[in-house]
Amino acid sequence: MAKARKKAKLAKLPKARRRPKVASEVQLPWRGRHNYVLNSQTVLRDVYRLLCAVLADGELAQVARDEHDVLVHLRDQFIEDELVHLLIATAVMNRSHDDHMMGPRQDKAELSFKPVTHACGTLLPDVDKDVAEEVELTFREACNKIIHADHITAETEQREDAAFPVLPQTVILRGTQGKKAWQAILNIPDYARATLVNFRDL
């Protein structure tokens, strides 16, 4: 009888005083290491912007009338920021997706997914060594070096009839790992190719 009175009392309460229903958590089906899938179009657009920023620099230097051209000022305003931010943004996304796909890519019985084996430049793991040993900069290690680099620089090139020194197709990354100082030369077109292969699964 007491339970019936309690139910009746609850039924008379205004809707605002009733306990809200707790929505059940909706989760995407697991497709790899993470329970989410990165938007490949976002990453590919960023790597396209990176590629264009580097390769178009020489053309802009030819189009500009002189170093005081407003186009040169526009370029100087954004080129360094574009280069650094696009490198780091794409490297983070590339590493995350490579981690995500590591299981099926390393499974010898899985023929649909293959690891990204592209080289993206060269690496000196220990620049202070008496005889520095240069090794191949793999795609995954390139992402690691971009993310952990203390310095990202580009040695510009002076070309004939160019209004300003232009960017090369390579970027120099410098940093430390433990007590060792390292230096990597990243080839931007090769890095873009590897990015395309990395996201071919989506």
Distance CA 176, CA 122 (A): 16
* 69 contacts 77 by C-beta, under 8 angstroms: no
* Cβ-proximal residues to 148 (8 Å cutoff; 6+ apart), any chain: 175, 177
Distance CA 42, CA 128 (A): 39
| Residue pLDDT, tens place only, 8-37 | 555 555 555 555 555 555 544 445 555 667
| Residue pLDDT, tens place only, 117-140 | 999 999 999 999 888 789 999 999
pTM summary value: 0.79
Other CB atoms within 10 Å distance of the CB of residue 39: 12
